[in-house]
Structure 1
C-alpha cells in the first residue's frame, strides 16, 4: 500500500525553514519528516527553493545589524542567482537587504556569472587594500593643515566637512568627511592629525566613546543638559524640609508624550503650582512657564528647584538667572530623590488620567485643580492644608498676586 503524500503544509514549513537558513537535514527534522524525505523534496525542485514558498509564511528574520556577507552567504547567493531568482527573492532567502544583494552582484559579476568563491576572494582583497591605504589627511598636507586650523578655532568635524565644500567648491581635493576627521584624531595608526586637537572638540575627550556605550548612556539616563549641579550638592536644610522656598519640579505626560503639564511642589508645605505648557514642552516653553509662576512669589520663596535631567530643562541657566533659584538635578533613574513631585503627580492623575490629551486643559482649569490640591488636609502638616501652611509662612510678607492660597 502506497504511503499517502505528505501534507502541503509540511512542505511549506520545510521551505520556510530552509529560507530561514536551516540545513536540509535540520529543516526536515523541524517539520517531522526524515532526512531522506527532505533531500527528496530538494531534488524534486531541482535543488532550487520554489519562489512562492519564499514569499509564503512569516517573514524571515533579518540578519543582525552590521553583519557582513560570509563565504557561505556568497555561495548561497551564487546558487540562487543561477536558478533565476530575482534580487528580492534572493534577499529574502539569504536574509540581507535587497540593496546589499544588488551591490554584491554588481561588484563581483564576471559577465553574467557570479561565483561565490571568487566574490569572497575579491571582498577580502578590497578589505586588505582598505586596511593598508594611507589616511587621506596623512597624504594631503594642504587639507590636513586646513582641518587642523579649523579644529584649533573650535569648529566641529561636521562643521569643517560641510564648510570645506562651500569654501573650496572647485577643488575636490579639499573634501573630507567628519568621520575621517574623528578617525584621524582618535584611531591609533590612522592619526594624521595632532592629538592635542581632541581638546578642541565639544566633548574634550582624548578617547572617543564607543557607539555602543553612547547608546547605553542615552538609554540609562543620558542627558543633553550641560553644567548641571548634582542633587548631592544640595544643602541639608532642603532635605529636612525645615526651611521654606525649596521646590521640586516634574512633568505629567499625556498620550504619546505629545502633551504635558508641569508641576512645582514646595517641599516644606506641599503647595502645588501647575504649569500650563501650550503646544509643547520644549526648553523655551518650560523656561517661560517657570519664570512666570516664580515671578508671582516673594523672593523668600524662591530658593532652590530640583528637577530630573530631561531636555525640557536645557535652559536651566536662564531660568536660574531670571528667578534667583539655585537649580539642582537628581541622579538619572532616581525618582525617589524627588519624592514630593512623585507623590503629587500620583494624586494629580485623579484629574489627568494616563493616556489622556493634556493639551485640552487651559490655565483656568489648572488653577482650579491646584486650588483643590492646596486645600486638601495633609497628615504630615497635622491636617492643615498646604495653602494654610504656606499662608502662615507668608504672614510677614504680602501674598503673591494672583496665587489663590485658600478657597
Structure 2
C-alpha cells in the first residue's frame, strides 16, 4: 500500500483528510474492521465511526452525512454534486488554485469560482461543502417568487406609476430616487415587464398593460424568421440559385463584386472580379456608396463589356445593393446574393481585395484616386502572372477564352 500514514506525534495544524477518507472507505469495502482501518489510516476510531455513520447536528456542531462510494456517472452532470463540493473544500484548504481545482473536476474555472463565492459562509467566508450543498438545493426549486409579488409596497408603487402612463424604465428610476437606501424597493424594468406579461401570477393587474406605449398585453417574439423584414424591397436571388456553370469557372462572364472602404468609412472603391480568369475591373465611386450611386457606377462599368461577358454578378447583402433590381433591368445581368457572414462564397473577390490593399492601404482616403488611376491599377493587376492560372496573366487567360 502506497499510502503514507500521518504522524500524529507532530502538530501539523488543520489538514484536509480527503486521501484518508478515500482510503478508509476502501478498507471498509474490503471487510476490514473499523478499528483496524482507523489504525492503518492513522485516525481516531471515533472519526472513523463518524465518517461511516454520519453525525447529527447538536449544539454548535454541524451535522454531516455518511461517506458513501458513488459510482461515477457515465454522463457528466450539469450541476456540482456533494462529492464535488467536498473535493473543492479540501483543495481550498490546501490553497490550490481555482484552475487546478477546475481541471481536477473537469469543470470550467468560472464554475468553481462562482461556487466558492456564492456558497461560502456569509460571515467567516469559509467554504463548507455540506452547507454549500444545502444552499444550492435551496436555490434550485422553480418557479421562484417574484420580487414584485413579495412586496405589496413595491407592487403598489409600480401600479401607481403605470396609472400615470409612465414607462417601466421611468418607474424604476423614480423608485431609486424616491427610496435610495431601500434596495427592496429597487427593480429593473425587465422585472416590471415580466410582471405584466407573465401573468400567474397576480403581480400586476392585466389591464395595466394598456399603459405601455405599445398597448400590448403579451410580449412580441423578436426572433421568428417569418416576422423578419426582408433585406431589400425587391426579393433577392440567393447564391444557391446561381447557374452551375458559374461554380465550376468553365464559362467566363460570371463576376464577383464588393467594396473596399477608406478612412473613417468616408470613401469607397468598387471591385469586380471575373471568376474564370480573375480579371479585375475597378468602379469609381466619387459620390459615395449609396444605393443609387453604386447602381449607376456599376451600370456604367458593366456596359463596357461584351454581351457574352455579362452573365451574372455575385455580391454580399450590403445596403449598397438596394437597387439591384434596377441594375438587372438596365444591364440584363442577374444579381445573386451570398448568405450572411459567408465571405468565402466570393473567394476570388476577397483575394483580389487583399491584393488591392497594396495600392490602397487601409485607413487612407480613397477619394483622391481618379478614374484614370483606378484603370491603371486594374491594368497592372491584370498583367500580373497568377499561380492559380498556371502563371498566366488574367488578361492572357481572358484573351484565350474569348478567342476560343
Give TM-score, length-normalised by structure 1.
0.49
Larger radius of gyration: 2
Q: TM-score, normalised by structure 2?
A: 0.49
